[in-house]
Amino acid sequence: MHTHLKELSPAELWQNFAALNAIPRASKKEEAVIQFMMDFGNKLNLPTTRDEIGNVIIKKPATPGMENKQTVCLQSHLDMVHQKNADTDFDFATQGINMFVEDDWVKAKGTTLGADNGIGVASIMTLLASTAIPHPALEALFTIDEETGMTGALGLQGGLLDADILLNLDTEDDDELTIGCAGGIDVTIGGNYKTEKVNPGSMGFRITVKGLTGGHSGMDIYKGRGNANKLLARVLLHAAGKFETKIKTIDGGGLRNAIPRGIAKR
C-alpha cells in the first residue's frame, strides 16, 4: 500500500485503488491487470472467469435476506489513458503509478493517475470483498481496452451474465446517474505532399511546445485547454506569412483520446 494513502477514508477503497495502480495497465497492454483481477476473485473464493477477449467476470452470491432481489451487474474498465509529461522518465509497460496526496486531491507524479476508471474498479473490488454491506447477487464485469476502442465491451461473449440491471461506474460526478451515452467517432485524415530540397544558407530551428495541462479528450475537451498540436500549427502559419518556411518533421501527441500537452517540431 502507498504510505501516503493510509489515512484516506474509506480505507478499503483506497487500499484497493493503490493495489490496482501498482499494476501496469495501459490500454491494449492489460495482461498483468487481467491476471491481477483473476487472482483477486480467486482469493475471495468467488466464481471468476475470463472470456476469450480478456474481460474478467467475478460473481458474488446475495447476502442473507437479499436472495430474491434482482441481480445487479457492476461494470468498470481495467485500462487507463497512459500519458506522461515530456520530462518524466516512466514506462507504462512495467511501472505502477507513483501517487501522492496534495491537499484534497490524489495525484500522480508526472503521469496520468488512472482514476478513470480505476476508482470504479476499486469500488467494485471493495464491495466484492466486503462482509458487512448487504447486497443482492452481484456480477462484476471488468472490461479491457475501453480507452482505445471499447473492444472489450464490443467483444464480450454472450451468455456470461444473468443480471437485468447494469451499473457502469465510469462517470465524472459522484452524485449523478447518467442514462444513455453520447457515443464517439474516430476520424483519420490523410494527404499527399511533395518534398523539396533545402536552399543553401538556410537555417534550421527546433521548436518545442510543452508544459500544457493536457487532459482527456472526452471529459476535458470543453475546458479551453491548450492543444500543443494546434498551438504549433499557429506558430508555423504565422512564420510562413513572414519567411520562407519549410518543415522537416512534426511529431506531436501520443494518444487518440488525450489532449496533446507537448510537441516538438524540427
Of all residues in the chain, what percent carry a pLDDT higher than 90? 61
| Dist CA 33 CA 25 (whole Å) | 6
CA distances from 157 to 11, 151, 244 (A): 34, 12, 57
Whether 1 shows a pLDDT value over 70: the answer reads no
| Per-residue pLDDT reduced to its tens digit, 131-160 | 999 999 999 999 999 988 889 999 999 999
Whether 25 shows a pLDDT value over 60: the answer reads yes
User: Across residues 59-83, what is the average pLDDT?
Assistant: 96
> The CATH number of 3-168 is which of 3.30.1330.10, 3.40.630.10, 3.40.50.1370, 3.10.20.30?
3.40.630.10
Whether 181 shows a pLDDT value over 70: the answer reads no
Are 194 and 91 in contact, with CB atoms under 8 Å apart? Answer: no
The per-residue pLDDT for 64 is 96
Q: Which residues pair with 74 in a beta bridge?
A: 140, 167
Which of the following is catalytic: 79, 116, 145, 147?
79
Which of the following is catalytic: 30, 116, 139, 146?
146
Grid coordinates belonging to 219: 471529459
Is residue 30 among the annotated active site residues? no
| Per-residue pLDDT reduced to its tens digit, 239-262 | 999 988 888 888 888 777 788 888
What average pLDDT does the chain have?
90
Are 225 and 214 in contact, with CB atoms under 8 Å apart? Answer: yes
Is residue 146 among the annotated active site residues? yes
Would you report the helix, strand and coil content of the chain in percent, each value rounded to 5? 25, 20, 60
The per-residue pLDDT for 2 is 54
